[in-house]
Amino acid sequence: MKILAIETSCDETGAAIIEDGQKILANVLSSSVKQFEEYGGIVPELAAREQIKAIIPVIDTAFKKAKITPQQIDAIAVTIGPGLIGSLLVGVETAKTIAYVLKKPIVPVNHLLGHIYANWLQTSLNPPKFPFVALVVSGGHTDLILMQNHSKYKWLGGTLDDAAGEAFDKVGRLLGLGYPGGPAIEKIAQTGNPNAYNFPRPLINSGKFDFSFSGLKTAVVNFVRNSPNLAKTSKHQLGLKADNKQVIADLAASFQQAVIDVLTLKTIKAAQKHGVREIVVGGGVAANSALRSQLTTQSAKLGINVKFPEINLAIDNGAMIAAAAYFNFKPQSPLKIQSQPGLYF
Ligand code: KG4
Ligand code: ZN
């Protein structure tokens, strides 16, 4: 079965064509993120305007890459939420129109489940094995879910304030590293000492599966604010001046280590509590190689296997939406499908 999937939940415009839930025939992504560097975050209105321009060319390119015609697809999948309302509307209304015109079934998809299903892509021989604990760790979410099978899952806990990716973005901005902060922090952290600063690990021993990253972010802000010797571009923001460079690398590495310690410990505890032998991770922060190696190593010691998507499939993309639709194939009437910005598990 060939599914065309459309994903426009945030700044990106993604269209993918996937066969039988795992084989990628095309996965096209256009992102307007560069344009938001100067703002330090996404401007929703501008993102949606770019998506209106990008959506048809991106879908066209996907068909060309897959070397099939629109009539040859069997179904359409679309992200209906969570996300930015203007952005979601572009994808959802386009998908509904295509489904209506081509008379093909259309499957609405929860973006958060999509991140989990990125782990099915390109893995015909070794897909995730149920039951498993999933960690969805992105710019908008940090959630732990127990998945018994494709249709039976239970939310175990999530962030009470900032998502992990959001904290990476805010600290990245504070350190003068631009937007998005995650990849930039990961890069500069490679030259820093993760033990240079002992930042808090919020809720690490709470015994529950909730997260909180706002206090950790504030600890980094307070450090910068109270360091008179650091060159600043504004009251709280560091400039990447030469004398700051090692401090920034150390701050980035220490902050990243605190986030990873919390994510690793809580995810493993969730797996142990529910007696599962597999952890499946998804979302933009799953691209972080320090998280990938620490979670994998510590889980292996306990006999728990960890799956991460390929790095380019961890961040938002259309392919994961097609995979989620294939394994949860519940088409709906195009007239009933609507954008749901606040959708959750
Ligand atoms: O899943 P995603 O592409 O979009 C959302 O659904 O939010 O995740 C984007 C988030 C951003 O906050 C970004 O800073 C973070 O993922 N991110 C990373 C890395 N790559 C992206 N965080 C840490 N390390 C990375 N390598
Ligand atoms: Zn996402």
pLDDT of 239 over the 90 cut: no
Q: Which two tokens stand for residue 117?
A: 């299903």
Answer yes or no: is the C-beta of 12 below 6 A from any ligand 1 atom: no
Distance (angstroms) between ligand 1 centre and the Cα of 137 equals: 8
Nearest ligand to the CA of 255 is 1
Answer yes or no: is the C-beta of 119 below 6 A from any ligand 1 atom: no
CB atoms within 10 A of CB 266: 25
Q: Are 316 and 286 in contact (CB under 8 A)?
A: no
What is the atom index within ligand 1 of the atom nearest the CA of 165?
A: 12
Write out pLDDT tens, residues 20-32.
Answer: 999 999 999 998 8
Which one of 42, 168, 256, 257 would you pick to mutate in the ligand 1 pocket, going by the greatest count of ligand atoms within 8 A of its CB? 168
> Which residues sit with Cβ closer than 5 angstroms to ligand 2, an ion?
138, 316
Distance (angstroms) between ligand 1 centre and the Cα of 139 equals: 5
Q: Which two tokens stand for residue 222?
A: 């307070």
pLDDT band at 236 (very low <50, low <70, confident <90, very high): low
Q: How far apart are CA 98 and CA 104, in angstroms?
A: 8
- Looking at residue 242, what is its pLDDT? 61
Distance (angstroms) between ligand 2 centre and the Cα of 283 equals: 5
Q: Average pLDDT, whole number, for the chain?
A: 95
Q: Cα dihedral sign for 254, 256, 262, 266?
A: negative
Crossing angle for the helix pair 289-301 and 245-273, to the nearest 10 degrees: 40
- Looking at residue 277, what is its pLDDT? 98
Look at the block and give the residue holding tokens 């039951």: 131
Distance (angstroms) between ligand 2 centre and the Cα of 148 equals: 22
**36-40, 243-247, 311-315: which has the minimum mean pLDDT?**
36-40
Mean pLDDT across the stretch 105-110?
A: 98
pTM recorded for the entire structure: 0.96
Nearest to 88 by CA among 140, 35, 14, 3: 14
pLDDT band at 84 (very low <50, low <70, confident <90, very high): very high
Give 87-90's long-range contacts (Cβ < 8 A, gap of 24+). 87/8, 87/9, 87/10, 87/11, 87/44, 87/47, 87/48, 87/51, 88/8, 88/9, 88/339, 88/340, 88/341, 89/48, 89/339, 90/8, 90/13, 90/48, 90/51, 90/52, 90/55
Q: Which two tokens stand for residue 2?
A: 């060939």
Give 152-155's long-range contacts (Cβ < 8 A, gap of 24+). 153/345, 155/344, 155/345
End-to-end CA distance of the chain: 26
Q: Which two tokens stand for residue 122?
A: 């390109």
- Looking at residue 31, what is its pLDDT? 87
Answer yes or no: is the C-beta of 282 below 6 A from any ligand 1 atom: no
Percent of the chain at pLDDT > 90 equals 87
Answer yes or no: is the C-beta of 87 below 6 A from any ligand 1 atom: no
Write out pLDDT tens, residues 257-302.
Answer: 999 999 999 999 999 999 999 999 999 999 999 999 999 999 999 9
- Looking at residue 125, what is its pLDDT? 80
Answer yes or no: is the C-beta of 304 below 6 A from any ligand 1 atom: no
Q: Cα dihedral sign for 132, 316, 308, 73?
A: positive
Answer yes or no: is the C-beta of 288 below 6 A from any ligand 1 atom: yes
pLDDT of 40 over the 80 cut: no
Answer yes or no: is the C-beta of 110 below 6 A from any ligand 1 atom: no
Answer yes or no: is the C-beta of 83 below 6 A from any ligand 1 atom: no
